[in-house]
Amino acid sequence: MQVLTTTQDDFYLLTLEGDLDAVSAINLDDAIESALKSQNKHLLIDCINLNYISSPGIGVFTSRLEDCEKLKIKLITFGLSTKVLKVFQILGLDKLLTIVPTLTDAQKLIANAEH
């Protein structure tokens, strides 16, 4: 899996491509660690090209959620495919994480938070 990083004025964007499993979870964890150090108050995770997720990948989201809350960083996930979203829903994580359909929706949340 690849994790691409993009920094914008008002958010830090991580773009995931491929399968997020026991092998690749560390890549996302490292990328989020760097994002938290950037001190940007909005961390967006683009899952449009995330093909698969299993528990080690989900574990990165759940463990980093607390870190984001402590640092007052808003974590927003968008672009989940139906099959990946279903895995989050089974666990009830769709209620704990902020998940929106598109990047535009994520940007609207940021804009609303700033006004």
- Binding residues (CB under 8 A) for another protein: these are 19, 21-23, 52, 54-56, 58-59, 62-63, 65-66, 82-84, 86-87, 90-93, 96
Strands (E), the chain: 2-7, 12-20, 42-53, 74-78, 98-100
Which strands, in side-by-side order, build the sheet including 12-20? 2-7, 12-20, 42-53, 74-78, 98-100
Residue 29 is encoded by which pair of tokens?
A: 């964890």
Q: Identify which of residues 90 and 114 has a Cβ nearer to another protein in the complex.
A: 90
At closest approach, how far in Å is the CB of 103 from another protein? 23
Q: Identify which of residues 92 and 112 has a Cβ nearer to another protein in the complex.
A: 92
At closest approach, how far in Å is the CB of 81 from another protein? 9
